[in-house]
Chain A
Amino acid sequence: MSKSNKYGYSGVDIPTQAAFANVGKFDPAEINELVQEDKWTQYGQLELIETQSSTSYTEMTFSDIKETTYNVHVLQFSNVKMPSGAGTHYPGFRFSQGGTFNTSNYDYAASWFSLTGSGNSSVRNSNHGNIAVGIGSSHSLNFSGYAYFYNLGDSIRYSYATGQIVLSETGGTVFNSYFSGASPYTSQVDGIKFMSTNTPTMTSGTFSLYGIRYS
């Protein structure tokens, strides 16, 4: 900016600006400039990256996840339906590195409780086809939930996920599952895919991926 009067100040003592530490009086052009430089205080740090919805799909892929902007991502998914007759469903998440989705070596554990059972049960695997959300069922399924992803843009750390779902399956059983897992590779993750290892055609589902700003 060529103005000699900047942020309401003149002379050489112009305050340095940073998000959550803005000082001065600002005209619209200065605000626009600071927004572009990510130096303007803005609230609303749960930022929508993309929403996808479909009535017929085998997997839902996010290929522009802004992994270098966010340390923590959140995925909300709702009304995901999987039909019976396609074998056992193991829905979960895969990560891509260098544009290629890894198909194995994911590691996860999950625990659940249900309307019909007593206590809780758990499942785990250290070499799976995805970070599973804990479902292993051949029934038709309808579920919703969320997942947090950590360190996707970090090239010295593994990539991690935690989350929870609530699910209703044929026959009326309702249960929840909370899960955690990792992809034990240190390359940057540049894509997230929701899929089942049996890749059935899913008949509905809405997925919204968010980044937590400044995380």
Chain B
Amino acid sequence: MATNLEFIKEVVLDASGGSDTKIVLQNIFSEKYENYFITMTKIGSNIDYYVWSRLIDASDNEITGSEYAYASEQLKSYGTEYEGKSTGTTNWNFMSWVGSGDEDSGGMSLYIHNPYDANSYTFATGEGVGYYGTSGSVGYKFIGVHKVEERITGITFNGASDYSEFIVKVYGIK
């Protein structure tokens, strides 16, 4: 739990602002902080889907190689829970949920650890929740690691083929 948060950056897509296929946060990590906190709210999507993520390297390229590992438990208020996990894969998956209805938009809280340290893996822990149609809430508890020692400067969030709305805020943990 953070004892102090320092606002770094926001990326906002207003409902009237068109659509984006992904959320890109470039140059948000620096030598100033070792740990970061990211909130994601008011997510609007054209489909029901789970949020997945990739990191951005020091050359501003999205890392698409099989360098990620993750585990996530899906907490559904209906049906049975689901465990998603993989290693040597191309993204962090099952991080949160985006719903296609306005009211289905929940939120996500994500911690990123040691991204800017070129001699460390980058780690993530997080949780998120949304709503699936008339079925019920869909929550996630997530851990992830990027298993290459390199400098990470940013992150992308994917999942919807069209994001119609979102608010993403990045904080450094003092």
Give the interface of A toward B (CB within 8 A). Answer: 19-20, 43-46, 71-72, 74, 76, 107-111, 120, 122, 124-126, 146, 148, 150-151, 154, 156-158, 160-164, 178-182, 184, 186, 212-215
Contacts and interface: CB of A to CB of B under 8 A. Distances in A.
A46 B2 contact: yes
Interface residues of B, number: 41
Between B7, B130, B137, the greatest number of chain A beta carbons within 10 A of the residue's beta carbon is seen for: B137
12 contacts: A45-B6, A107-B137, A111-B75, A111-B81, A122-B80, A151-B42, A160-B137, A162-B107, A162-B129, A164-B127, A180-B128, A212-B171
B5 A150 contact: no
A118 B129 CA distance: 26
B77 A181 contact: yes
B154 interface: no
A124 B77 contact: yes
Interface of B: 1-7, 10, 39, 41-42, 73, 75-78, 80-81, 102-107, 109, 127-131, 135-141, 167, 169, 171, 174
Main secondary structure of the interface of B (DSSP, over half): strand
B127 to A, nearest CB: 4
Contacts, number: 144
Given A71-B42, A151-B41, 13 more contacts: A44-B5, A71-B39, A72-B107, A72-B109, A107-B137, A111-B81, A148-B127, A160-B107, A160-B129, A179-B75, A182-B129, A184-B131, A214-B10
A148 B107 contact: yes
A215 B107 CA distance: 11
A157 B77 contact: no
B104 A107 contact: no
Given A71-B41, A150-B107, A178 B141 contact: yes
B4 A46 contact: yes
A180 to B, nearest CB: 2
Contacts of A46: 2-5
B41 A72 contact: yes
B76 A109 contact: yes
A72 B39 CA distance: 8
Given A154-B42, A158-B104, A215-B39, A109 B139 contact: yes
